[in-house]
Amino acid sequence: MAYVSLDSEQIKRANKKHKYTKDQVLQLEKCMDEKTGPLFFMETFMQIQHPTKGSLPFKPYDYQKRLIQSYNDHRFSIAMLPRQTGKTTCASGYLIWYAMFKPDSQILIAAHKYAGASDIMSRVRYAYEMLPAWIKAGVTQYNRNSIEFDNGSKIMATTTTENTGRGMSLTLIYCDEFAFVQPPEKAVEFWTSLSPTLSTGGKCLITSTPNSDEDQFALIWKEAMKRYDDFGNDNIVGTNGFYAMKAHWSEHPDRDEAWAEQEKSRIGEERFRREHECEFLIYDETLINSVRLVELEGADPIWNQGQVRWYAKPKPKHTYMVALDPSLGTGGDYAAIQVFELPTFKQVAEWHHNTTPANQQIRILQSITKYINDTIMEQDSTATPSIFYSMENNTLGEAALMRVMDIGEENIMGMFLSEPIRKGHRRKFRRGFNTTAKHKIDACAKFKELVENNKMELNSKPLISELKNFVATGVSYKGKPGEHDDLVSACLLTTRMMKVLADFDPKIFEQWTNRTSEYTAPMPIFANLGT
């Protein structure tokens, strides 16, 4: 859009007096409402420029209403939406509302390219110019990439660099297509420099389609999706304070399956998944196939037993595996317990914590096995609950094993399960399961087979989150640097327990063989090594 001078009729000069009607006063009051004002303002007064139909009233779709509300309800908001779904239009309208109805606001638009910053600013200017004259805030400066209002508010637009916003006292910053800031290091430096502003009360809105799964946008999104506390409760915002909002292409009323198929043919499956399905394409070699990972949704716990998350109620005539991956309990690595059910191969419970000492870890395991036993007996007093529990017996496991001895196995419901003693290793035998590199990769292979073939039901959202960062490293798999993999490790232990039980229990052997192949397929990491 061409530059418009302050003499234009489309611009309200600063400090110009206006006599309002009663109806105008009422509408201004509605616009000023802290909760509903932005949406009312945009639905009532905002015009958009359609590429073929010209100027049209803005009538937001349902997902756009959710987006606008997320901007308004949360100090930090991150949104991931498909291409061409009007996210920039929503942002432009919200920024105009914010500047006009929140005096002395310093608003910065940061886009990955100069053209992007200019485009957003042109939309902001158009939204302002098409407003009724009586509702417009007066303007003191009206430039291509900045607008200053007579209420002290200012909107500026620039490209995202490592120095953008540095030293500025910003009220609100809007980051557009943040996943596409290049090089990626620039986005990291920008975010680091922005932190002081955000820590002193600034508001931050981020929108983008996804790019890679490791850029700064992806990192912020992942933290925003980590909404679960130690009790498994789903918080509204993530651990970084951001509220995450996502929309699917099918929410746009003009898009259907026929449109999707045509678009896939035009841009390809991979690009469609990234730009329209809003998937982070995982470039690292995860243990579980990336396509299958996207399909895993998880479920909310049906109830919490302290910090233990239960996803299903124990039932008679089922077998339960309870596996503990212990930790020091000093704030570093997490201790984790997984509970799986046979013959369903369903995850029914989970616990993890990083400050629980070893003695308490065993007490929690004890409470889990007791709950399984008591719940089954309540349903059928003649039942014989089938419960097996175990733990890793590595260095950290020694303390846990000592606590089992202190409590006494007879005081823990179920049977303590250990891996079989190999010939010539009796002197080295310790109760529980010793995890070597071979043991781990074998367990990974079976776990992968069960999950990818829909033979194992994973319910925990925190577990699924860990699996997305459980990647090939050398000749094994582990969590990415800075990510935990304790929930996964406990799952691998339950898989090993199932295999041991299958070797001496005919019933479980049948259940195991019905869900797993006789031969383990080669792991991807070995194939890559040419072995």
Give 295-528's CATH code, choosing from 3.30.420.240, 3.30.420.40, 3.40.50.450, 3.90.1150.10.
3.30.420.240
pLDDT at 6 over 70: no
Q: Cβ(179)–Cβ(185) under 8 Å?
A: no
Give the strand pairing for 308-310 and 476-479. unpaired
Q: Give the integer Cα–Cα distance in Å for 90 and 75.
A: 17
Range of lowest pLDDT (97-111, 226-240, 406-420): 226-240
**E strand intervals along 259-416:** 303-305, 308-310, 319-325, 335-342, 346-353, 386-391, 415-416
Q: Cβ(107)–Cβ(119) under 8 Å?
A: no
What is the pLDDT, as a whole number, of residue 424?
55
Instruction: Record the pTM.
Output: 0.60
Is 295-528 in the same CATH topology as 61-247? no
What is the pLDDT, as a whole number, of residue 35?
95
What is the pLDDT, as a whole number, of residue 531?
39
Q: Give the integer Cα–Cα distance in Å for 318 and 372.
A: 10
What is the pLDDT, as a whole number, of residue 1?
40
- Mean pLDDT over residues 206-222, rounded? 86
Q: Give the integer Cα–Cα distance in Å for 351 and 192.
A: 34
Percent of the chain at pLDDT > 90 equals 53
Q: Give the integer Cα–Cα distance in Å for 142 and 10.
A: 11
pLDDT at 233 over 80: no
HSE-CB for 241 with a 13 A CA cutoff: 11
For the chain, the structural domain boundaries read: 61-247, 249-281, 295-528
What is the pLDDT, as a whole number, of residue 234?
67
Please list, in sequence order, all residues whose beta carbon lies within 8 angstroms of the beta carbon of residue 388, skipping any fewer than 6 positions away: 319, 320, 321, 322, 414, 415, 416, 417, 497, 501
What is the pLDDT, as a whole number, of residue 465?
86
Distances (CA, A) of 388 to 219, 324, 344, 476: 38, 11, 16, 27
Q: Give the integer Cα–Cα distance in Å for 294 and 299.
A: 14
What is the pLDDT, as a whole number, of residue 428?
56
Q: Give the integer Cα–Cα distance in Å for 518 and 446.
A: 10
Class assignment of domain 61-247?
alpha beta
Max Cα–Cα distance, the chain, nearest Å = 97
Q: Give the integer Cα–Cα distance in Å for 274 and 277.
A: 6
Percent of the chain at pLDDT > 70 equals 91
| Peptide bond connecting 183 to the previous residue in cis, omega within 30 degrees of 0 | yes
Residue 336 or 50, more confident: 336
Could you report the per-residue pLDDT of 261-300, keeping only the tens digit for each?
Answer: 999 999 888 788 888 988 876 656 889 987 788 788 889 9
What is the pLDDT, as a whole number, of residue 293?
84
What is the pLDDT, as a whole number, of residue 459?
96
Could you report the per-residue pLDDT of 401-439, keeping only the tens digit for each?
Answer: 888 888 888 899 999 999 887 655 555 557 889 888 888
